Amino acid sequence: MEVIKLKQWIRNLICDYIKNYEQRDDIKTEWKEAVVGFADADDKLFLKLKKAVSPTHAAPGDFLKHARTVICFFIPFADWVSESNVKGKYSSREWARAYVETNALIDDMNRHIKKELEKMNFQAALIPATHNFDEENLKSDWSHRHAAYIAGVGTFGINNMLITEKGCCGRVGSLITNLEMEATKRGNKENCLNKAGGSCSVCAERCVNNSLSVDFFDRHKCYSLLLENDDLYSEMGLTDACGKCCVALPCSFVNPNSD
């Protein structure tokens, strides 16, 4: 298959899978069309993650011998999911459910993409959508968000979320394959208004637990609130989410620094 067609094939696999998943009787969340990007597995930025995220942060080749490409995607929640989470200290039921259902969607979809790649004699390595982090320092050995940044899916906001062309309200996933594909070109602009030189700090002002400011993030304090939400929705599975610093922002649904 030609390179362009391969990329479109992967994009279609992702978008069709999400559309079909949404139709399931047991799924309540709705999603908008995913933003998809491709990173060169040998991109030097993967090595830099050891400094930026954690000394134990893995490179694609640690998961898959002869890794060539990291397929990354951002799956935006439907607007009503994000709007449900604007008020109150604790996560809305809709947001907590979207977190659980999207993590399951990503894990199921990645298994599906792996099978499709194997039909073409390629391999893929899967990393869980979440909870692959060190419990002490709360840092992950594989950051889907950083991989997606390298794949040109978006840039980081002050709220530590990836701001894509479809905003930051959603979940990010990735998988590694030995199928070679042309890498997506990263833009040269910050999508976050503050990082682009403006004075925006709406996300920090929205933090419900004094964990986030423009130049400081208290990971442990933030996590303590996520665990309170997990207790609140214990019947749903692991709902260690909050999202108050993602909603009602200039970057919730769009890239606010787009041309």
- When the beta carbons of 15 and 202 are compared against ligand SF4, the nearer one is 202
Segment lying near ligand SF4 (by CB under 6 A), choices 5-13, 73-81, 128-136, 151-159: 151-159
> What SS3 state is found at 43?
coil
Residue 12 to residues 40, 56, 169: CA-CA distances in angstroms? 20, 34, 22
Segment lying near ligand SF4 (by CB under 6 A), choices 6-14, 26-34, 147-155, 199-207: 199-207
DSSP 156-187: E-TTSSEEBTTBSSEEEEEEEESS--PPPPPP
Which position among 64, 151, 158, 247 is part of the footprint of ligand SF4 (CB under 6 A)? Answer: 158
- When the beta carbons of 183 and 193 are compared against ligand SF4, the nearer one is 193
Q: Would you give the DSSP letter of residue 41?
A: T
The secondary structure element, H or E, covering residue 174 is strand 170-177
- When the beta carbons of 6 and 208 are compared against ligand SF4, the nearer one is 208
Q: Would you give the DSSP letter of residue 33?
A: P
Binders of ligand SF4 among residues 206 to 245 (CB under 6 A) are: 207-209, 211-212, 222, 225, 242, 244-245
Q: For the sheet with 69-76, list strands across it.
A: 35-40, 69-76, 170-177, 124-126
Residues of this chain that bind ligand SF4 (CB under 6 A): 157-159, 192-194, 200-203, 207-209, 211-212, 222, 225, 242, 244-245, 249-251, 256
